[in-house]
């Protein structure tokens, strides 16, 4: 899926989680959105045209793209746990609240679920299995993805209206 679709899905996931679970009121909604969106686009760090707005393609990313195949470890449940765990360690080292990693993880999982809808699918159990799981219903960049994006935006707007009218 395209980056904008992953961002829209991550926004919807953040709003749903923030709305459903009252214990999340202790969290800043802005940081919840940021963490979920970063998690929602992070798995594509292994793609040369990854969708991280306003950033330049760094030397590190060029090396990363050569070493890690797209939809490899970054597109697996193991990758979600690994990168979330590494993020917790880094944030704790810098004395930054690591509780937002839950939202990063949820954004990450939303990315994996969305990419599972594409014909290419993902290797959910990589590196333990190389079997790709994909439903093949939404080819990347297709009309069906554009419709999916619009439905996600409409769902997001509907939820915003419902939440505001509570």
Q: What is the pLDDT of residue 23?
A: 57
Would the pLDDT of 62 be above 80? no
CA dist., res. 71 & res. 43, Å (int): 8
Identify the residue whose tokens are 């999916």: 148
Q: What is the pLDDT of residues 131-152, one digit of tens each?
A: 998 898 999 999 999 999 999 9
Q: Is the dihedral of CA 11, 16, 19, 25 positive or negative?
A: negative
Least confident residue range of 21-30, 95-104, 131-140, 143-152:
21-30
Q: How far apart are CA 54 and CA 135, in angstroms?
A: 32
Q: Where are the domains of the chain?
A: 3-164
Q: For the residues 85-98, what does the mean pLDDT come to? A: 89
The pLDDT score that the predictor gives to residue 28 is 81
């Amino acid at each position: 899926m395209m980056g904008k679709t992953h961002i829209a899905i991550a926004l919807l996931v953040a709003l749903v989680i923030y709305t459903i679970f009252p214990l999340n009121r202790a969290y800043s909604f802005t940081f919840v959105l940021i963490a979920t969106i970063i998690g929602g686009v992070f798995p594509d760090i292994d793609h040369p045209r990854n969708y991280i707005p306003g950033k330049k393609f760094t030397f590190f990313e060029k090396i990363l793209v050569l070493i890690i195949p797209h939809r490899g470890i970054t597109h697996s449940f193991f990758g979600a746990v690994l990168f979330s765990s590494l993020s917790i360690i880094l944030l704790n080292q810098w004395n930054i609240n690591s509780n937002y990693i839950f939202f990063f993880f949820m954004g990450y999982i939303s990315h994996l679920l969305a990419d599972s809808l594409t014909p290419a699918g993902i290797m959910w159990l990589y590196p333990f299995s190389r079997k790709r799981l994909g439903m093949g219903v939404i080819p990347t960049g297709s009309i069906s993805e554009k419709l999916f994006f619009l439905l996600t935006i409409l769902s997001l707007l509907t939820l915003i209206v419902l939440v505001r009218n509570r």
